[in-house]
Structure 1
Amino acid sequence: MGDFNAKVGDERVEDVVGPSGIGTVNERGSRLIEWCQINDFIIPNTWFQNHPRRQWTWKSPGDRSRNKINYILIQKRFRNSIKTSKSLPGADCDSDHISVMCKFQIILKKLRKAKIILNSKWTY
């Protein structure tokens, strides 16, 4: 999770970037996408279609442009655990960046220890 200052665009790229991004890809965005492909990560912010004010994460001074440059990255194996991802424009965090949240649900499997039974009678 972090401020990558990367624009990944609104076009789907394999299983990494979804169709709900904003704008076009920049150089940092292409490097982030490449890193995600190599390390098996996805960008959930781009997979959920939200209201436009719930998509952008940065507003330029003077409110001339709005971009999505903050992302949450999750490993592909946890893809089905993600319920929603959106920005929270009303949160007061004293920054020109908007907070991003992701709801997910993980079901953990309880591992049981194997019982070791030792036979006290050894036969030769």
Structure 2
Amino acid sequence: MVEDVGPGGIGAVNEYKTEWFQINVSTITNTWYQNHPRRQWTWKSPGDRNRNKIDYILTQKRFRKAVKTSKSLPGADCDSDHIPVMCKFKIKLKKLRKAKAKPNFKWTY
């Protein structure tokens, strides 16, 4: 298994997907967290026979440590067979410094 896919995935990931992740320097956030099984699947078949994880949140590898949790929300009322996927992350904003105003003096001698 590649480093882009975490241990929390369901089933196998095909080679095409892992190759695409490596080329685009991304990682799958939903696979890095061990959640309850109902918080892992993102799609259910008509009749609720099968449940699979087919919806993902991708992020660049450099932001992987900023992601705090990623899970699906099965109780959301969205009238779809897909379940919304949520990701919490911590961002640290850079403090902007105000530019010092230059004095607008005209010296005449």
TM-score range, shorter chain: 0.7 to 0.9
In 2, Cα distance between the equivalents of 1:42 and 1:68? Answer: 15
| TM-score, length basis structure 1 | 0.73
In 2, Cα distance between the equivalents of 1:58 and 1:109? Answer: 38
Aligned length: 101
User: Deviation per CA, 1:4-25, whole angstroms, max 9, x where unpaired?
Assistant: xxxxxxxx422x1001111123
Q: CA deviation at 1:105?
A: 0.6
Q: CA deviation at 1:109?
A: 2.1
Q: CA deviation at 1:62?
A: 1.5
Provide runs of 4+ in structure 1 moved above 4 Å.
Answer: 111-115
Counterpart pick for 2:50 among 57, 65, 83: 65
Matched, 1:20 2:8: yes
In 2, Cα distance between the equivalents of 1:75 and 1:111? Answer: 25
Which of the pair has more CA radius of gyration? 2
Structure 1 match to 2:107: none
Q: CA deviation at 1:113?
A: 7.7
Matched, 1:44 2:29: yes
Matched, 1:54 2:39: yes
**Partner SS for 2:64:** helix
Q: CA deviation at 1:58?
A: 0.4
Counterpart pick for 2:80 among 81, 95, 102: 95
Percent identity over paired residues = 77
More deviation, 16-25/39-48: 16-25
In 1, Cα distance between the equivalents of 2:61 and 2:13? Answer: 21
1:13 aligned partner, one-letter code: V
Structure 1 match to 2:60: 75
| TM-score, length basis structure 2 | 0.83
Unaligned runs of 5+ in 2: 101-109
